[in-house]
Amino acid sequence: MPFTVTTLLIVFAFLFLWSILNILLEYQRGVVFFLGRFQEVKGPGLIIIVPGIQKMVRVDLRLVVLDVPPQDVISRDNVSVKVNAVIYFRIIDPEKAIIQVENFNAATSQLAQTTLRSVLGQHELDEMLAERERLNVHIQKILDEQTSAWGIKVSNVELKHVDLNESMVRAIAKQAEAERERRAKIIHAEGELQASEKLLQAAQILSKNPQSMQLRFLQTLTEIAGDKSSVIAFPLPLDLLKPLVQAAGKQPGD
C-alpha cells in the first residue's frame, strides 16, 4: 500500500510539473493572463504557468506571408479586372495582437481585400499595369497604418496578377499597335525634316560657288553611267547653253 501511494504522488507531481512548465522558442512569446487580466509578455525560454490561475497564449513573431485571393476590381476608366496580391507582415506587439483583435490573421486578410479594391478602384488600368511599384507602396502604407493598433507591422505588399478578359486584351493589343505606328510615322517625318534641312544647306553652299556645282554635276553623270543603263537622261545647265544662244542670236552682218 505505501508503494502505491508513493507512486501516485510521484505521478501527480510529475504531471503537475509538466503542466506548469512551458518552453518558448526564440521566435515565440507568451501573453500571460492572471485570473483573466493581462499580466505580462514572457519568453523565450522556460516559463512557469500556474494552472487554473494563469493562462498563456503563444504568439509567433516570424514573418507571415498572406495570400490575398483574387478580387473583382472596376478601375476608374470602367474596366473590370481580377487582381490578387501577397502581403508580408509580422507581429511586433504580442499584447495588442491577442487583446485588441480576435483573429489577427483573418482580420488582416479581410482588411487587405477591402483596401485592395478601394485603392485600385481609384486608378486607371494603365496605372495598374505600368505603375505597380507605386501602388504597392500606397497599399502597404494604408495597411500598416490600420493594423498598427493590432500590434502588426506590414512590411511589404506585392500585386501578383492583373487578369483581363479576352476582349480587353485584344483592345490593348490594338492600342499598342496603333501607338507603334504613330511613333514610326513621327520618326519618319522627323527624318524627312532633317534631310530637307541638310539639302537646303547643301544647295545654299553650292549656289555660292558655280565650280562646285559643275563638279557635282560631273559626279552625278559618273554615278549614272556606272548603273549599266542604256539610256541616260540628265539635266543640262543653262550656263553651258548661254554662248550658243548668244551666237545664234547674232546676225551675219553684225
Q: Return the C-alpha cell found at 99.
A: 487583446
Q: Are residues 114 and 52 in the same domain?
A: no
Q: Are residues 68 and 56 in the same domain?
A: no
Q: Are residues 157 and 170 in the same domain?
A: no
pLDDT for 214 equals 62
Q: Are residues 53 and 73 in the same domain?
A: no
Q: Are residues 193 and 173 in the same domain?
A: yes
Answer with the residue of higher pLDDT: 52 or 11: 52
Range of the domain at 29: 8-60
Q: Are residues 77 and 111 in the same domain?
A: yes
- pLDDT tens profile 170-192: 666 666 667 778 888 888 888 88
Number of domain units in the chain: 3
- Secondary structure (DSSP) of 62-125: S-EEEEEEEEEEE-TTS-EEEEEEEEEEEES-HHHHHHT-S-HHHHHHHHHHHHHHHHHTTS-H
1 has a pLDDT exceeding 50: no
Q: Are residues 153 and 211 in the same domain?
A: no
- The pTM (predicted TM-score) of the whole model is 0.65
Question: Does residue 250 fall inside a structural domain?
Answer: no
Residues 6 or more apart whose CB falls under 8 angstroms from that of 213 comprise 206, 207, 237
CATH number at residue 99: 3.30.479.30
Q: Are residues 160 and 192 in the same domain?
A: no
